[in-house]
Chains A and B, each alone.
Chain A
Amino acid sequence: MEETQTAFQIHLQDNVATALMPVGPGSVVILGDTVVGGLTATADIPEGHKVALRDIKAGEDILKYGVVIGRATADIPAGSWVHLPVMGSLYDKRSSHLDAATGAPKDICYE
């Protein structure tokens, strides 16, 4: 039997949770301070990365710890992966240019 997929919500107001293991499409149990209980992941979400707990519209705040940690730059459906480039920092404009998987900068020329 496959291990139950889990993610952790840190604050009741949050609209994202953190994957506690590599998560694939399918059901995910949400632990922590949550009323969500569970959801269906629609994509691969690496361990330590975020999954949307509900539909988030472009321009909406991303909440983790009950605090704004960035803003959605595209519509983010519930169950999908929340990371660059569908969200960005309100402070650090450069990070939106980084590669989503590796974090490597793409705005510097290496010839």
Chain B
Amino acid sequence: MEQKTLCWQGYARQNGRKGIRNRVLVIYTVKCAEFVAQKIVAEVAHLDVELVGFDGCTDNQYAVNLLISLIRHPNIGAVLTVGLGCEYIQPEWLAAIAAQEGKPAHWLFIQNEGGTEPSAAGGVAWIYDALRELESTPRITMTMKDLVIGAECGGSDYTSGLAGNVVVGRFFDKLVDEGGTAIFEEIIEAIGLDWFLTGRAATPQARAEIQYTYDKALKYCQEVRQYSVSPGNFAGGLSTIEEKSMGAVIKSGSRPVQGVIKVAVPPAKAGLWLLDSTPDPYWMQFGITNPNDNEGLMALISCGAHIVFLVTGRGNVVGSAVSPCIKITGNEKTFARMVGDMDFDASPVLKGECSQEELAMRLAELAAKVASGVPTKSEMSGHREFFIPYKYQEKEVAFKRACEE
């Protein structure tokens, strides 16, 4: 197939993975350290230096796992962790994980450094050294089979289910056929479609995982009394939850689902995977599912996505830390109105100007371009949002124990 000719130079990592960016990640480990970490990033003002962090003083396994997954992410080349000095999350231990990955790493406590100015100066000096060191990161050829791409939708309108999500599904089929890895999420928006997803399970284990995850999401919806359909959806022309769900799930394409992965746990092998980002039972009160688009993007990135797709009929401006975000709309008016923010116009297919196949090929070409280093609209304008909440999640898909039956 034609995509086999799409290749570019990536960054070789010690763990065998390949990155498409070579960034310095500055991590603050409590809200009290955020300002200093922000100041370091702002003073360096380099496209490849960016910020994430966790606001809470009390730690949380989900948040720690998420930070570690970003440290190990192939797009990250070096890590600086910035703590205040009395919080639960340990910047020294996080920096040690980065060092084990063969990445330049450094950590500091603001209390030990002597406050804002000395901490910021020390951090900035270290980053300049790290950037010089990253110049010698070995390069390696990458093709579609090396890519992990995640997709979610938000701010949907009727074009999302007709064009935006459809082109992502067609592209995911190509990506999987090429030996690459595709991740979709939003099980909460698959209500009514368990039969559709379990019917595509690659193995009996995958089938059980999908059914368990679906049942959990349905129970969650019932308990928090929050379903993913509203009067506005009906007014917009959607007649049933099945119709809305199908418009979202269509972005998974048509290939077999290899299984369900949890946040911060990269897929074991290539192929199409369902990411479950909903909280697990027992601590269900510990967080709301899908509080915003950046939570979903962050969850996909934590599973190793090099690039994330955000399909939005109504339009959005966000980007993401760690991995470039390609924003796709099926609404030509949205694309024209927000051309400085939207990366891909899927509307030509609705006007009969091209086939779904041609449109999917254009998206593949854009993904390869971004993978080769060309910045997305959000990267160019400096959008590097992140969202790391408190949440409770098991690392593996749990099954009901005998005592719970």
Verify if B246 is at the interface (C-beta below 8 Å from A): yes
- Interface residues of B: mostly helix, strand, loop or mixed? helix
Contact with B along A32-62 (1 / 0, CB 8 A): 1100000000000011111000000000001
Interface residues of A (CB under 8 A from B): 6, 8, 10, 18-20, 31-33, 46-50, 62, 64-65, 67-70, 82-84, 87-92, 95, 98-99, 101-105
- B230-244: which residues lie under 8 A (CB-CB) from chain A? 230-237, 239-243
Chain B residues near A70 (CB, 8 Å)? 239-240, 242-243
Contact with A along B213-240 (1 / 0, CB 8 A): 0000000000000010111111111011
Partner among B191, B231, B352 whose Cβ is within 8 Å of the Cβ of A98: B231
Chain B residues near A101 (CB, 8 Å)? 235
Chain B proximity of A11: nearest CB distance (Å): 10
Inter-chain CA distance A70–B246, complex, in Å, is 11
B237 touches A89 (CB 8 A): no
Verify if B188 is at the interface (C-beta below 8 Å from A): no
A89 touches B231 (CB 8 A): no
B239 touches A91 (CB 8 A): no
Q: List 18 A-B contacts (CB under 8 A).
A: A18-B162, A31-B351, A48-B158, A49-B237, A50-B237, A62-B239, A65-B247, A67-B193, A68-B242, A69-B243, A69-B246, A70-B243, A87-B240, A90-B240, A91-B191, A91-B192, A95-B240, A105-B231
Inter-chain CA distance A101–B234, complex, in Å, is 8
Inter-chain CA distance A104–B162, complex, in Å, is 24
A105 nearest in chain B by CB position: B231
Inter-chain CA distance A56–B23, complex, in Å, is 57
4 closest A-B pairs by CB: A103-B234, A48-B158, A103-B231, A89-B240
B240 touches A69 (CB 8 A): yes
Verify if B350 is at the interface (C-beta below 8 Å from A): yes
A18 touches B352 (CB 8 A): no
Verify if B157 is at the interface (C-beta below 8 Å from A): yes
Number of interface residues of B (CB under 8 A): 31
Inter-chain CA distance A88–B238, complex, in Å, is 11
A69 touches B196 (CB 8 A): no
B231 touches A102 (CB 8 A): yes
Chain A proximity of B214: nearest CB distance (Å): 12
The total of interchain contacts (Cβ-Cβ below 8 angstroms) comes to: 96
> Would A64 and B234 be within 8 Å (CB), given that A8-B350, A69-B240, A91-B191 are in contact?
no
Verify if B166 is at the interface (C-beta below 8 Å from A): yes
Partner among A64, A82, A90, A103 whose Cβ is within 8 Å of the Cβ of B246: A64
B233 nearest in chain A by CB position: A103
Inter-chain CA distance A7–B100, complex, in Å, is 56
B191 nearest in chain A by CB position: A91
Chain A residues near B162 (CB, 8 Å)? 8, 10, 18
Most A CB contacts (10 A, CB to CB) among B227, B234, B349 go to B234
B240 touches A92 (CB 8 A): yes
A10 touches B166 (CB 8 A): yes
Chain B residues near A92 (CB, 8 Å)? 191-192, 227, 229, 240-241
Chain B residues near A50 (CB, 8 Å)? 237, 239
Chain B residues near A18 (CB, 8 Å)? 158, 162, 237
Verify if B49 is at the interface (C-beta below 8 Å from A): no
Inter-chain CA distance A89–B240, complex, in Å, is 5
Chain B residues near A91 (CB, 8 Å)? 191-192, 240-242
Partner among A6, A8, A31, A64 whose Cβ is within 8 Å of the Cβ of B243: A64
> Would A67 and B246 be within 8 Å (CB), given that A10-B166, A18-B237, A50-B237 are in contact?
yes
Chain B proximity of A86: nearest CB distance (Å): 9
Chain B proximity of A28: nearest CB distance (Å): 13
> Would A48 and B237 be within 8 Å (CB), given that A65-B246, A103-B231, A105-B231 are in contact?
yes
Given A92-B229, A103-B235: 10 more A-B contacts, CB < 8 Å: A31-B350, A48-B158, A48-B236, A67-B196, A69-B246, A84-B234, A88-B240, A89-B192, A90-B242, A92-B241
